[in-house]
Chains A and B, each alone.
Chain A
Amino acid sequence: VSLPRQIHLAAHFPGVNSTTVWTDPSAGSQIEFDSFAHFARNAERGLFDYVFLAEGLRLREHKGRVHELDVLGRPNTLSILAALAAITEHVGLVGTLNTTFNEPYELARQLSTLDLLSGGRAGWNAVTSSDAFHGANFRRGGYLDHADRYERAREFADLAKKLWDSWPEDAPRADAGSGVFLDEDVPTRVRHRGSQFDVDALFDVPRSPQGRPVIVQAGDSADGRGFGAEHAEVIFSLHTEFEAARAFYDDVKGKLPAWGRDEESLKILPAATFVLGDTEQEAQERSREIALAQVRPEVALTYVEQVWGRDLSGYDPDGPLPDVDPDTGSETARGWANRHAAVRARIAKLRELSDAEGLSIRDLVIRLTATHTFVGTPQRIAAEIDRYVQERATDGFTVVGHLTPHGLDEFTERVVPLLQERGSYRQSYEEGATLRDLLGLPAPRATRPLTTGPLTTVPFTTPSLATR
């Protein structure tokens, strides 16, 4: 009897956005170490594959001031993951890290360090960004145009892989008797000359347990999917509706054979929210309550101000959409992922949805941003998650709770045991398993650092998800 397909789960630390309900009296600190410790320990208790952190490059702004209505402030991604490595033993540690505002040598050594410190549990959600708003905080500075930023991401990851592969597994020799610490020709010198980087590098971190971190990607464009199929080991998608998820799964996994990869070499873990109840009705009521807390009246107005690009504070959040034109030249929406959207087309769609369903501003925003992926009893949610995985719509989910830091505790306590009963979720961690082992991924294929063949390319993504 073969086991059912196994479910993989990632635990996403609540973000700096309206999904995270800070008005709840039980909501804890977004920054104290205890919050992260609690979160990671719960993920480990729930046998999750990994904890997942976004990246902060600049505080969000609204109307020229830092955004006041949502949780604001978060730790440095790499530093907090390194600290969590000290207090966890099994769970993977995956961070979102940008290719535009880091240098390959430095980021490669940081990720190798994290992998060494954690005993092989490091992962990298590789993202690109290019806008001047975030760039203003960095030496690298402002704007990379679209093509350049992808070129940089491609070269970045290619170079990082060569650096990771430049140390053999048995180095350093460290033979006190003969006095040879490091053999000749170790590490392999990495020479790279491209449009973005021109380096002649000797990497200074020995090979880590996984060789290189697990590569996670969040891109969803046609290009993004193609690169994901070629290089990503996990895809963090937004397709959670069953048919859309299955279509995405079929599309991306269908591209794998062309790259000599099998279905299991890439895991697709869409973002998912959940609301539990003892009964279906209780869960539905709770979902509505949480949605109202997520989209408070002022949050709803901010959302439409972001889209319209102008001050709409005079409008009633419980009334219809504003009847005025957007200000498409406005800088109101600086730092928001939607700033490049075709504003007018977007507004037309919002009006259509609002008219069709008779939605107020606030209900429209709830519909768009606070529709919870899974709502129901633990039994129902476990069955749904299992169905997605068994029917090949996903390999699992990247779960995010609405409360910091304990939003996933009830998932661990009430849903995980039911997944285990179904035989589709691990009963324990295997001792010494790396993150790649937990995810059931094959060892990465080594680059050949000194060949002159075509560059190996790697996944890159837009930051829209990861920086939310």
Chain B
Amino acid sequence: VTEQVHIALALERAGWHPAAWRAQTARPHELTSPVYWRDLLRTADDAGLVLATIEDALSLADRFEPTDGLRRDRVRGRLDAVLLASYLAPLTSRIGLVPTVTTAHPEPFHVATGIQTLDFASRGRAGVRLVAGASAAERANFGRRATGVDALPASGRVEDSPEIAAAFREAGEFADVLARLWDSWLDDAVIRDAESGRYVDADRVHNIDFEGEFFSVTGASIVPRSPQGRPLITVLAHQTVPYRLAAEHADLVFTTPHSADDVAAIRTEVNTAAAVLRSDGRERLRVFADLLVLIEDTADAARQAARRLDDLAGAELASDARIVIGTAGDVVDEIVALAGAGVDGIRLRPARQPADVAAIAEQVVPLARAAGVLRDAGQSGTAGSGTLRSRLQLSRPESRYAREKVAL
């Protein structure tokens, strides 16, 4: 029996190759236009992809890039991802919408209500990808924090940098506050009881009274409980501290294995962290593997296209994720191998948008389906009724305050 996986998409402006905007099929003048994003998301939605993440950062420069002497041959500028996802919600019907949010500067309260509103507007398809810490460029834009995430320490380990370790603790608090705010209204809080004149039952709305190391948030959300109860929390993780963040707070973790052995090691580490940190009764953390893909009809054509972009970029494509340059069949082979190694899903990072998004939709998805590797809720599920959680076989969580009430 072939193991089945979900297929997700990671969207990043012109794509994940630094010279993607110079590809012939690119739309470099439209990267902040609504039409460009509508077209991309409709393609992905029609193909039945389970979710799309949207990259974001609060700076013109990339995360570990100096702001002085900013390279002029890279894509610069973008739309706010939460608002872009909100815009896309009414224009799509099945795909999960997972914008990126950094946890150092935004207000957890605004992010919580923004993602709940996305959950309402998408009828239960909202998620969020949390990114810990603030880069130097982001800190300069806000002027509020002296330290943050400038570069990994020499060891490469997060725990060896006090600043980055603190950023991950803050991200944990951030995730915790999101979940508490999302639970703060019980599902049945709105009673509309004309008899007593009460619109809500105050006993079913709970102040979260959160006091943490980095911030405190007192009240309940302004938004009633949303269709999924708790929208999906996701993180991208490459090492122990982020795995622990995911294990404690996330529903889904994106990882970057380069082999089946890597998958086994990651699963072991994630499971170990989860055994300690994941609260009782919480569903199993879903593990996705990222692949950066550049797809042409032949392997030669793909290599040529990649080389052309590499030449334009002045360097060979490099990525934290495994890179697949080849045919759709090559991509599906990789997916089958990762599925066999035990991941729940694959997140494909298109090297070029829209070209590789189209190739994923038109070629990879049908081939994966034919190979029996695609977990295809879109085919068998009831059209329109599926929330993102339900497509991932995650149940709708009951509010922690409902449980407390029972415990009393």
Contacts and interface: CB of A to CB of B under 8 A. Distances in A.
Interface string B169-201: 000000000000000010000101010011111
A299 B197 contact: yes
B39 to A, nearest CB: 13
B70 to A, nearest CB: 8
Contact of B199 (A72, A116, A179, A202): A72
A207 to B, nearest CB: 10
Given A57-B222, A83-B89, A139-B107, A172 B141 contact: no
Given A76-B114, A83-B86, A204-B59, A101 B77 contact: no
A179 B309 CA distance: 11
B23 to A, nearest CB: 8
A191 to B, nearest CB: 10
A187 interface: yes
Contact of B142 (A105, A137, A296): A105
B216 A201 contact: no
B73 A75 contact: no
Given A33-B121, A86-B88, A204-B77, A179 B222 contact: no
A113 interface: yes
A356 to B, nearest CB: 29
Given A78-B114, A83-B117, A205 B109 contact: no
Nearest to B59: A204
Contacts of A105: 58, 141-142
A129 B213 CA distance: 25
B224 A31 contact: yes
A151 B300 CA distance: 62
B82 interface: yes
A56 B60 contact: no
A101 B107 CA distance: 8
B260 interface: no
Given A72-B199, A298-B197, A174 B28 contact: yes
Interface stretch (A2-10, A62-70, A345-353): A62-70
Nearest to B202: A65
Interface in B88-135: 88-91, 105-110, 113-118, 120-121, 123
B22 interface: yes
B401 interface: no
Size bracket, chain B contacts = 35 or more
B60 A181 contact: no
B198 A69 contact: yes
B57 to A, nearest CB: 8
Contacts of B80: 109-110, 113, 205
A85 B87 contact: yes
Contacts of A33: 89-90, 120-121, 123
Of residues A79, A176, A184, which shows the largest number of chain B Cβ atoms within 10 Å of its Cβ?
Answer: A79
Contacts of A74: 222-223
Interface stretch (A192-200, A214-222, A231-239): A192-200
B240 interface: no
Contact of A66 (B29, B202, B217): B202
A181 B194 contact: no
A113 B79 contact: yes
A103 B105 contact: yes
B293 interface: no
A205 B32 contact: yes
B250 to A, nearest CB: 22
A58 interface: yes
Contact of B34 (A66, A116, A296): A116
A82 interface: yes
Interface string A84-106: 01110000000000000111011
B407 to A, nearest CB: 21
B219 interface: yes
B222 A56 contact: yes
B367 interface: no
B58 A181 contact: no
Interface string B12-36: 0000000101100010110111100
Size bracket, chain A contacts = 35 or more
B384 interface: no
B192 A22 contact: yes
Nearest to A192: B143
B147 interface: no
B338 interface: no
Contact of A172 (B76, B89, B105): B76
A204 B60 contact: yes
Interface string A37-54: 100000000000000000
Nearest to B22: A176
A102 B144 CA distance: 12
A138 interface: yes
B271 interface: no
B287 interface: no
A436 to B, nearest CB: 19
B22 A206 contact: no
Contact of B219 (A37, A82, A85, A136): A136
Contacts of B106: 106
Contacts of B73: 179-181
A391 B115 CA distance: 46
A66 B197 contact: no
Given A76-B114, A176-B22, A202-B60, A137 B202 contact: no
A293 to B, nearest CB: 10
Of residues A65, A85, A106, A200, which shows the largest number of chain B Cβ atoms within 10 Å of its Cβ?
Answer: A106
B121 A83 contact: yes
A76 B106 CA distance: 14
A343 interface: no
15 contacts: A33-B120, A33-B121, A73-B190, A75-B120, A79-B114, A87-B90, A139-B107, A176-B26, A179-B312, A180-B73, A182-B70, A182-B77, A202-B137, A203-B141, A205-B78
Those 5 A-B pairs whose CB atoms lie nearest each other, nearest first: A56-B222, A79-B117, A136-B218, A174-B28, A82-B86
Interface of A: 22-23, 31-33, 37, 56-59, 65-76, 78-80, 82-83, 85-87, 101-103, 105-106, 109-110, 113-114, 116-117, 119, 136-141, 167, 172, 174, 176, 179-184, 187, 197-206, 296-299
